[in-house]
């Protein structure tokens, strides 16, 4: 059985399949410079290597964790320049953690309001509903 990354490399659709990323997303990341342009074959096909696979996985995981494009660009710059330190990465990551915690607090507040509204509802088949009244108030 051959390796997923042969000596020739991967074409874009193979990179997409291997990473679970959509083709359009790979094109977008190339267009905005997050993913470097791969070399091309004589016939013009892009050929991606293991470096592209790792970088795309990095980008996808960072996006999954809610990091914005600019934040990812900054982290990748540190990696590309080989200037990253744990302290610098932590400094860049802490504001995102604060945003996540703020969103969690907002969701918990919303949850408490919804619990209160639902607890005031009789759940019976009647036209009057305290939830609708609360929305309209």
Query: Is 82 inside any structural domain?
Result: no
Instruction: Find the domain containing 34 and state its range.
Output: 1-68
- pLDDT over threshold 50, residue 15: yes
Q: What is the pTM of this model?
A: 0.79
Report CA dihedral (85, 87, 89, 94) to the nearest 10 degrees: 180
pLDDT in tens, 41-100: 888 889 999 999 999 999 999 999 999 999 999 999 999 988 888 899 999 999 999 999
Q: What is the pLDDT of residue 1?
A: 42
Q: What is the pLDDT of residue 3?
A: 46
Across the chain, mean pLDDT equals 90
Query: Is 75 inside any structural domain?
Result: no
Query: Is 89 inside any structural domain?
Result: no
Count of structural domains within the chain: 2
């Amino acid at each position: 059985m051959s390796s997923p990354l042969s000596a020739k490399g991967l074409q874009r659709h193979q990179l997409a399949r291997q990473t679970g990323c959509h083709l359009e997303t790979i094109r977008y990341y190339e267009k905005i410079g997050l993913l470097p342009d791969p070399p091309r074959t004589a016939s013009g096909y892009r050929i991606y290597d293991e470096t592209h696979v790792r970088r795309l996985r990095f980008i996808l995981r960072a996006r999954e964790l809610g990091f914005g494009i600019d934040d990812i660009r900054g982290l990748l710059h540190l990696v590309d320049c080989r200037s990253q330190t744990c302290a610098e990465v932590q400094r860049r990551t802490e504001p995102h953690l604060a945003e996540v915690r703020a969103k969690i607090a907002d969701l918990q507040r919303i949850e408490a309001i919804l619990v209160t509204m639902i607890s005031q509802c009789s759940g019976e088949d009647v036209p009057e509903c305290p939830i609708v009244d609360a929305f309209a108030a």
